[in-house]
Chains A and B, each alone.
Chain A
Amino acid sequence: GAGVSQSPSNKVTEKGKDVELRCDPISGHTALYWYRQSLGQGLEFLIYFQGNSAPDKSGLPSDRFSAERTGGSVSTLTIQRTQQEDSAVYLCASSLLWNTEAFFGQGTRLTVV
């Protein structure tokens, strides 16, 4: 597709369950970012990928959060043992190079009940 695609668009899960959020970046973009947008914390950086490597994962809030990227393309953000405070919109962005404009997907709205 032409833009960054995220799935699912909405996810409701029970507390304690694991969830996987997917991001399909723009084809050819080498850099990929995950952000979290919540009412209490605003927009927060989570992790940055360059290719399949993650040189900056400083924003991951706990060891329940992990992410991977395969083939220099699709990325998955996994949250284990979800908590209510994980409820937020998770945004993915990609850019052609590490220092060029980032394009954002529409996000996955995660609700933990």
Chain B
Amino acid sequence: AQSVTQLGSHVSVSEGALVLLRCNYSSSVPPYLFWYVQYPNQGLQLLLKYTTGATLVKGINGFEAEFKKSETSFHLTKPSAHMSDAAEYFCAVTPGGATNKLIFGTGTLLAVQP
């Protein structure tokens, strides 16, 4: 069965510092991988996704993630944090087949300090 593990339920960085949010997946088939962001009292917004092809995926708001099959990882990074990046971030995987349901990690709450 597919699953996702996010290391660190809370991450705090200074404004301008590198953001690194970790995600490892477990999948018996080539996975589709996603990062979503959730701002307070809002729904989920897709940041980026990996399906096939290039392993370095660029998303919105300056975020990117690299699919590393050998490490079963899909870590999210941003070179320079902004205050507006403070939110909860979810990594997700789809099990494939005739459904596109998402299996989510437990989320990482990112705080950005001035």
Is B43's CB under 8 angstroms from A98's CB?
no
Asked if residues B99 and A56 are in contact (CB atoms below 8 Å), the reply is yes
**Segment touching B, from A42-50, A65-73, A74-82:** A42-50
Instruction: Give every chain B residue within 8 A of A48 (Cβ-Cβ).
Output: 99-101
Q: Is the CB of B99 within 8 A of A42?
A: no
Give the distance in Å from the alpha carbon of A31 to the alpha carbon of B100 in the complex.
9
Give the total of B residues in contact with A, Cβ under 8 Å: 20
Residue of A nearest to B49 (CB): A101
Contact flag A105-B100 (CB < 8 Å), given A42-B107, A43-B90, A43-B107: no
A45–B104 CA distance with the chains assembled, in angstroms: 9
CA distance in complex: A33, B106 (Å): 19
**Given A48-B99, A55-B98, A98-B99, CB of A42 within 8 Å of CB of B42:** no
Mark A residues whose CB is within 8 Å of B: 4, 31, 33, 35, 42-45, 48, 55-56, 59, 91, 93, 95, 98-107
